Amino acid sequence: MSIYIVQLLTGVAYGMLYFMIAAGLTIILGVMNVVNLAHGAFFLLGTYFAFTFMSLHLNFWLALLLAVIVTAILGIIIEKLLINKLYGKELEQVLLTFGLTFVIADCAKWIWGTEMQTIAVPELLNSSITIGEMVFPAYRLFVVLVGCILAVILWYLESRTRVGAIIRAGVDDRAMVAALGINVRLVFTGVFAFGAGLAGLSGVLGGPLIGMYTGMDSDILVTSLIVVVIGGLGSWKGSFVGAILIGLIETLGKIWFPSLSMLIVFLLMVVVLMIRPQGLYGKVVSQ
């Protein structure tokens, strides 16, 4: 029994990583209607930024904070210089952000090389807990805790703050929000930076779990897109549920059906789309 508990906790830990990046992606898609295929690149950059800061003898926590801030600032720059000119032009957004993934990936190879790297687990969390006859790393429990705290923060921002009300209104009727005198472009910039920061956060936290390698941006983007599709556009709740499902399926699938784990993930997406084309928590778009 203990081995199943450990595997379930492992699946939830990976699910929390997927949730952090997918939450930013679904908010960007749902609020801004921007197809950002470069979102995985923010995950990649967050990891490598933290790795660089730690190589300068900064501790994990300071490196985490700085990596998230730098990634968010980079998101602001990209939104202001590039995305800002392409609102309402989905095809151009796809081409631009798809091209950005290659540019950022090649820059990462040039700066950091192509060798597999990893981020050391912080000393405070470099221990394990005993579950029956098995041990479970404390760091993975920390990742689960961060994901749950983030879910609570998103709930509070959405339902209890004026910013959340503006974002919800922007999802439903963007033109009306602008007519009320709210600077929609400023809101969009903030949302894009927030999404990029979440991707950077998940990248740093994922460093000790999955390592660092060029090409990880594409892998994580595919998974996060599946989470968004299952959960529904603009819904962080959907991302939370979808990410946990994907994390559990991947982890348990690699034990029971090692060659079919990703197939099961895609089958789940197909089933959800057949039953609820808008996703588990997505809104039905009226015609």
Provide the residue ranges of all domains of the chain, joining segments of one domain with +.
Answer: 2-218
Task: Return the pLDDT at 250.
Answer: 87
Residues 242, 227 contacting (CB under 8 angstroms): yes
Question: What pLDDT is stored for residue 284 in this prediction?
Answer: 56
Q: Could you give the C-alpha distances from 196 to 1, 40, 45, in angstroms and in order?
A: 39, 9, 10
pLDDT score recorded for residue 286 = 45
* Angle, helix 39-55 to helix 184-210, in steps of 10 degrees: 60
Query: What is the predicted pLDDT for the residue at 66?
Result: 97
pLDDT of residue 85: 85
Which residue stretches of the chain have pLDDT < 70?
A: 1, 168, 170-172, 283-287
Which region holds residue 242: left if phi is over 0, alpha if psi is between -120 and 50, else beta?
alpha
pLDDT of res. 118: 85
User: Which pLDDT score is estimated for 177?
Assistant: 75
- CB-facing half-sphere around the CA of 2: CA atoms within 13 A: 8
The whole model's pTM is what? 0.90
pLDDT, residue 172, reads 66
Distances (CA, A) of 15 to 87, 146, 164: 31, 12, 24
Q: What is the pLDDT of residues 151-197, one digit of tens each?
A: 999 889 888 888 877 776 766 677 777 777 788 788 888 889 999 99
Query: In the prediction, which pLDDT does 287 show?
Result: 40
